[in-house]
Amino acid sequence: MLRAFFNRYTQTRYRYLWAWICTGIAGGALLLPFLVTEGLFLDGLVYATVARNMAQGSGTFFIPLFEANMHVPFFEHPPLVFWLESLFFRVFGDHFYTEKLYSLCMAVLSAAGIAANWRLLFARTESAALGFLPVLLWICIPTVHWSYQNNMLENTLSVLVLWSTWFSIKSIQSDKIEYIFPAAVCIWLAFLSKGPVALFPLLTPLFYGIVLKKRRPGGALVSTILLMLFTSATGVLHLSIMPDLNISLSRYLHQQVFPSMQNMREVTTSNPATILLFLLRELAIPAALVLAACLLCFRERIFRDNNRNIFFFLLLTGLSASLPLMVTLKQRSFYLLPSLPYYCMALAVLCAPHVQALLHKKYGVRGPALLALVSLPILLVVTGMRWGKIGRDQDLVHDIHLVSTYMKPGEIGNLEEGLCSDWSVFAYSMRIGRISWTCGNSDPWYLAEHDTTTHAGRPLRPVDAPFRSLKLYRAEK
C-alpha cells in the first residue's frame, strides 16, 4: 500500500507539490521547535509585553505602555505592530505562545508575498512554478528564522513591503492605476510599523519600469510620483482622522529616529559599511545553495529570456532597502530583514533553470518526497517534545515564574542595585506576572542576586523557593 502511494504521488507532475512540502518542512524545522518554547530576545519580549498590555486595556494605539502598573509609555517605535499583535492577545488570550503565533503568521504571510512576487515577475513562463525556491533560500538565512523566533518588528514590516511591491508591479503590468492605492496603503502601514526604513518600495515603479523596460523612463517616473502622492495622501488622511497619532509619531521621531541618525544613541559600530558585511554574511547560505544547484546542472544557462533584467530589478530593490541603513552607526543584522526577500529572489533567478532541470529528473521528485515523508514525523515529534519548555534565559524565566506565584499582578517591588540596569528582569516580570520593579523604597518585596538581610533599614525574610539565579525577600513587619 505504501509502495503504491509512493509510486503514484512521485510522478513528474507532482514535482512542485513535493518541492513546496519540503520547503514548508524546512521552514517548520527552523521555526516551530523554537516557537513552542518560552523566552524571547529582549526587543521582541518588550514588544509582546506592550501588545499584551494594550489588549488588556493598559495603553492605547496612541500611547502604548510598557510598564502597565506605573504607566510608563513606550514611544521607541510606531504603534501599528503592537496594536496588530494585541488583537492576537484578545483572541487567543495571554499565553506564552500568543506572540509566537503572531510571528508564525507573519512568516507565512511573508513567504506568500515572496511567492506571489515571484509568480508575477515570471508570469506565463515555466519559472513561475518555482515560487518555493526563493522562499527556501530566504528561510535558510539565520537572521530570518531568528527574527521570526523572537517576535521582531521587522516581521510585520516585511509582509507589508512585499505586498506593496506586488501591488506596484501589478499596476504596471496591468496598466491599471487602481493597484497603486493598496500599494500606497501598504507603505503607510509599513511606516507605522518601523518608521522611515519602510519607504523603499516607493521606488518600485521606477526600478521596474526602467530595468524591465515595461515603460518609458517618463512613464516610470510618473508612476513613482503617483505612488509617493498616494502614500502621502494616505498618511495625511490618517493623521487628520486620528490627530493623537501625530503626537505618538512626533515622540517616536524625536526619541528614536533623529538621535539615531545623529549617532547619539545605541551606536553599535564605528564603520557605516558594517551593514554590508552583515549582508554578505547573511547571504552566504543561500548563495552556497545556489552554487550547489548550478554545479549539479552546470550545462544550463544562468540567464534565460528576460531573467537578467528581473535579476537586476530585484537586486536594485534589495539595495534600496539596505543601503540607507548606512546613514547611522546603529546597525543590527536583523535590520536587513525587509531587504532579504529581494536578494533571495535575485539569487533564485540565477539557479532557476538549474533547479527546473533537477525537478525534471526522476530523483528530482522521489528525493524530495522521501525526504518529506521521513522528516515530517520527526519534526512533529521534536516540536511536541519542546512544547512549553523554556527556550532561552532559562534561569531568569524560571525565577520570574516563581516570583509571580508570590507577588500579585499589579504589585511593585524593589530591585537590588545591580539588577536596576537589567531590562530583561523588568520585561519578563511584566510579561509573565504583570509585576513592576523600582530601585527606590517600595515595600514589601525585594529581588536580589546576592544574599542580604536588610533593605532601607528594614529586616528581610527570604522566600523559601527553589530560585536559580535570583532571590526574593519580603520585608518583616
Listed in sequence order, the residues at least 6 apart from 150 whose beta carbon sits closer than 8 Å to its beta carbon are 40, 41, 43, 44, 103
Complete DSSP assignment for 129-160? GGTHHHHHHHHTSHHHHHHHHTT-HHHHHHHH
d(CA 407, CA 423): 19
Distance between CA atoms of residues 44 and 48, nearest Å? 6
| Contact yes or no for 151/45 (Cβ under 8 A) | yes
In contact, 58 and 68? CB cutoff 8 Å: yes
For residue 15, give the C-alpha cell: 514535482
**Collapsing DSSP states into helix, strand and coil, what is residue 73?**
strand
Buried b (16+ CB within 10 A) or exposed e, 27-38: bbbbbbbbbbbb
Of 121, 128, 187, 129, which Cα lies nearest the Cα of 159? 187
Residue with C-alpha cell 530591585?
415
Q: Which three cell numbers stand for residue 313?
A: 530589478
Segment-wise mean pLDDT, segments of 10 residues, the chain, 477 residues: 58 79 96 97 97 94 88 92 98 96 98 98 91 97 98 98 97 90 98 97 94 73 93 96 94 93 88 95 96 77 72 97 94 96 97 86 74 92 96 95 95 91 95 92 85 82 93 87
- Cis omega (within 30 of 0) on the bond before 64? no
The residues that bridge with 437 in the sheet, in sequence order, are 413
Residues 6+ apart with CB under 8 A from 251: 73, 75
Name the phi and psi angles at 94, rounded to 5.
Answer: -90, 90
Angle at 194 between CA 278 and CA 65, to 5 degrees: 120
Q: Residue 93 in 3-state DSSP?
A: coil
Q: Which residues pair with 473 in a beta bridge?
A: 446, 462
Separation of alpha carbons 334 and 395, rounded Å: 26
Query: What pLDDT is stored for residue 301 in this prediction?
Result: 62
Place of cell 516585511: 158
Strand partners, 454: 459
Give the model's pLDDT for residue 281.
97
CA distance readout (Å), 253 to 49, 99, 106, 257, 388? 22, 26, 25, 5, 38
Q: Where are the alpha helices (DSSP H) in 253-412?
A: 258-261, 274-282, 284-296, 307-322, 340-359, 363-386, 394-406
